Structure 1
């Protein structure tokens, strides 16, 4: 799942500092007042976070759905894509945890597709020590297995310190991802750190991420939509949506802006769709993430509850259209 911020940092207002600067006493009072206001706002922010933590999961997600999607979800009879995903977050299939775990899922991918589709592992340490850092190659990717956005790309190890990565890793491992988005199957995943080979294409860039949304209904062929995320770690990430024939759709999902012109059709599109089909066969819906640098193909992750069911989709009718494609009886 991609991670959604639960709150935004509050900054002290500058209005309280607008005192005449030729009066040192007034300026001192203003600075003191600004500090007090800053402390007060931080206290309010902390209190809000604590209050959110005590909200029951259905209420928490319903309020977030209302804020981000624009309406309260129907939890009794879900109709939209987001409503179905939200209900999965609250009542996950027992299989989701192991297949969402970015380390454990590798066994499933090896059995289903073959080990050649796995990004080579460098290390899965019990503890991230300096010796582990020293043993890493010049370039690599550091990840955590139990949530979204836990990714750090290192192109040149000589330009990053062990202390920086250690601090980042400790913060990831201390994060209970369930508390971020209330996707209950994340409770079952034990946080682990791991290191993978850095995938780059022939131009030296991180390859696009193909997020294949696969829907299955009984007696029908699977329906697939592909979201290609380009420049994900750069300043201008883009997310273009395509059908399985690579028709560029006038659709945006979440925070990724859409390009006016389509991306180049991947030469191995048929292989991308076949891999997504094989990995999704036991489910009514799953998002299969893949990378295809220079006509190769690598597995990224399986996501059963993208965005926890609170992701805006434009136009809004797409939320309803995708909702009709989910057959929860499978």
Structure 2
């Protein structure tokens, strides 16, 4: 959902601009291209089309980082959920003294609004509260007109802090599903030292594409031990939708759900080489 400059100060006039016009302006601003909504061809164009015309009510539940847990529990099972420590309606409800030494706080109604605590004794709680209070007042709908976020209730969840086999991070495996079929996996790593993204097909062959971040073709990332299971789970969660990205974490032989995303980079992602913007777009069937 985050894209270049989108979290900068927003002109108040944007609140008066209809979605379609706003998206055309933002598309031109971020991609230097004219947005074609009549006959969209590229991945980014079709993401904008889906924002405007694919408005299933359940999307609101799925983008909510707390409510989606019930959907995951019902659909694939509670064992895939990261253990929950607490959920709070307000920042002042957090009992910091009762939290473990390591934890993760996430706002449920947006993206990139996390407090990752690896040692509570070193945490600046005052600063953490200030960040959370700012995020809780923000409505992410206005930044990219991703309509499901408009009515998500702002809350904070606290989850168990987890690391993968590296011992230093938790790589993010983001599975892109087109009309219910997993087609590729984006692996986000080096989150704390210059986020990098490598793309792979479902057979774990590297795809030479940069998607809004640098990519490392010579970097060896081991295939997750249960990749096939991960793909099957993603397919079950994505089966009814023209496009959706299902995120997982892999820790040894265990799989944990991350989040559901309908609009990666809000449909303003710089895809290079450009031919892949068209290729991925061809995988989204809007006729359904």
| Partner residue, 1:259 | 216
Contact 2:175 / 2:182 at 8 angstroms: preserved in 1?
no
What root-mean-square deviation, in Å, do the aligned CA atoms of Structure 1 and Structure 2 show? 1.8
| Partner residue, 2:147 | 184
Q: Residue 297 of structure 1: SS of its match in structure 2?
A: strand
Q: Distance in 1 between matches of 2:78 and 2:6?
A: 37
Contact 1:130 / 1:162 at 8 angstroms: preserved in 2?
no
**Within 5 A, what are the aligned runs for 1:218-229?**
222-229=181-188
| Partner residue, 1:147 | 110
Out of 230, 233, 245, which is 2:189 matched to?
Answer: 230
**Within 5 A, what are the aligned runs for 1:125-140?**
125-129=88-92, 132-140=95-103
Cα pair distance change 1:326/1:133, threshold 3 Å: same
Q: Indicate the structure with greater helix content.
A: 1
Answering whether residue 22 of structure 2 is matched by residue 60 of structure 1, we say yes
Q: Residue 252 of structure 2: SS of its match in structure 1?
A: helix
Q: Distance in 2 between matches of 1:230 and 1:157?
A: 24
Q: Distance in 1 between matches of 2:2 and 2:232?
A: 24
Contact 1:3 / 1:180 at 8 angstroms: preserved in 2?
no
Corresponding residue pairs, total: 286
Give 1:312 deviation, angstroms. 1.4
Give 1:294 deviation, angstroms. 1.9
Out of 39, 61, 71, which is 1:77 matched to?
Answer: 39
Q: Indicate the structure with greater strand content.
A: 2
Answering whether residue 69 of structure 2 is matched by residue 106 of structure 1, we say yes
Contact 2:28 / 2:35 at 8 angstroms: preserved in 1?
yes
Q: Distance in 2 between matches of 1:94 and 1:142?
A: 26
| Partner residue, 2:270 | 312
Give 1:70 deviation, angstroms. 2.6
Structure possessing the higher radius of gyration over alpha carbons:
1
Q: Distance in 2 between matches of 1:289 and 1:242?
A: 14
Give 1:131 deviation, angstroms. 6.0
Contact 2:3 / 2:269 at 8 angstroms: preserved in 1?
no
Unaligned runs of at least 5 residues, structure 2: none
Unaligned runs of at least 5 residues, structure 1: 9-45
Q: Distance in 1 between matches of 2:68 and 2:182?
A: 23
Q: Distance in 2 between matches of 1:80 and 1:207?
A: 31
Give 1:161 deviation, angstroms. 3.1
Contact 1:210 / 1:290 at 8 angstroms: preserved in 2?
yes
| Partner residue, 1:164 | 127
- Normalised by the length of structure 2, the TM-score is 0.93
Q: Residue 221 of structure 2: SS of its match in structure 1?
A: coil
Q: Residue 91 of structure 2: SS of its match in structure 1?
A: coil
Q: Distance in 2 between matches of 1:150 and 1:212?
A: 21
Q: Residue 74 of structure 1: SS of its match in structure 2?
A: coil
Question: Residues 258-315 of structure 1, C-alpha deviation per residue, up to 9 Å, x if partnerless?
Answer: 0022422222211221111111112121100100022211000001122221111111
Give 1:214 deviation, angstroms. 0.6
Q: Residue 327 of structure 1: SS of its match in structure 2?
A: coil
